Amino acid sequence: MKARAGFTLLEVVLALTALALVAAICYGAFHLGIRAVERGEVAVVTAQRLRVASDLLIRQVKSAVPYPARNRDDEVYPYFMGTATSMTFVTAAGQEGGGGLARVVYQVVDDPPRLLMAESQFFSPDSLGRAPVERSDRRTSVLLDGFRSLKFEYLMNDGADTEWHTEWNGLEDEMLPAAVRVLVDGLPGLEVETWGQEIPLMATTFGDNSGEVGEEDLPEAGDDDSADDDDNGGNTP
């Protein structure tokens, strides 16, 4: 009898094994490519959002002014309050109403972690010095999220002390910080674990931050930035 043409069982098994190997290699390469594209998209989105947040921070912190505040003991001091997770000050780079002086509040909140920013153009020396520092304004925006932790640090530069501090109190320090440092951990898509930015205050850089403000620096009665009182905390025109 003549032998029939065809493949043996061993040849079929070897061919299927080779096909499976080629398919696995192609799938692995395709999967790695998809993951690389996804990581690239995450990195681009994170970089864009970080740039927007840092640009606003840089512009407003650089333009911080030693605006005089007056507490209930009639002590006058440059308004700037800061902790590791929040800071509030008066800036000449307000975003609403065409710019100008504005009181801004930056605050880190949890669940989920995010950086909030609130701005108010309605304030006076008494409302700044007598309203609770932790009181938030009505208009709050999410400036940055998706990170694991974020903290602020403040540079003291009075000739004797040039260290970074995690707290700043304008009443006790009697001046503005020389710079503010922002440290962000755990942003997705970035090559570095911790992203940092040091922002110098122009008022300090150009010598306007003498550390001394008094009654003569307070705006006159008709020149206050608002007509608010202590009960509304400086948020109502």
Neighbours of 128 (CB within 10 A): 25
- Taking alpha carbons only, the member of 211, 140, 200 closest to residue 174 is 211
Q: Of all residues in the chain, what percent carry a pLDDT higher than 70?
A: 76
- What stretch of H or E contains 129? helix 125-130
DSSP 138: S
Q: With 80 as the cut, is the pLDDT of residue 193 above it?
A: yes
pLDDT confidence bin for 13, thresholds 50/70/90: confident
**Between 113 and 208, where is the model more confident?**
113
Q: What is the pLDDT of residue 8?
A: 83
Q: With 60 as the cut, is the pLDDT of residue 225 above it?
A: no
Q: What phi, psi does 10 have (nearest 5°)?
A: -65, -40
State the Cα–Cα distance between residues 121 and 151, nearest whole angstrom. Answer: 25
pLDDT confidence bin for 82, thresholds 50/70/90: very high
- Taking alpha carbons only, the member of 60, 118, 75 closest to residue 234 is 118
Domain chopping of the chain, boundaries: 44-223
pLDDT in tens, 142-192: 999 989 999 999 998 876 668 999 999 988 988 899 999 999 998 887 778
pLDDT confidence bin for 88, thresholds 50/70/90: very high
Q: Of all residues in the chain, what percent carry a pLDDT higher than 90?
A: 35
Q: What is the pLDDT of residue 130?
A: 77
Q: With 70 as the cut, is the pLDDT of residue 101 above it?
A: yes
Q: What is the pLDDT of residue 211?
A: 52
**Between 219 and 51, where is the model more confident?**
51
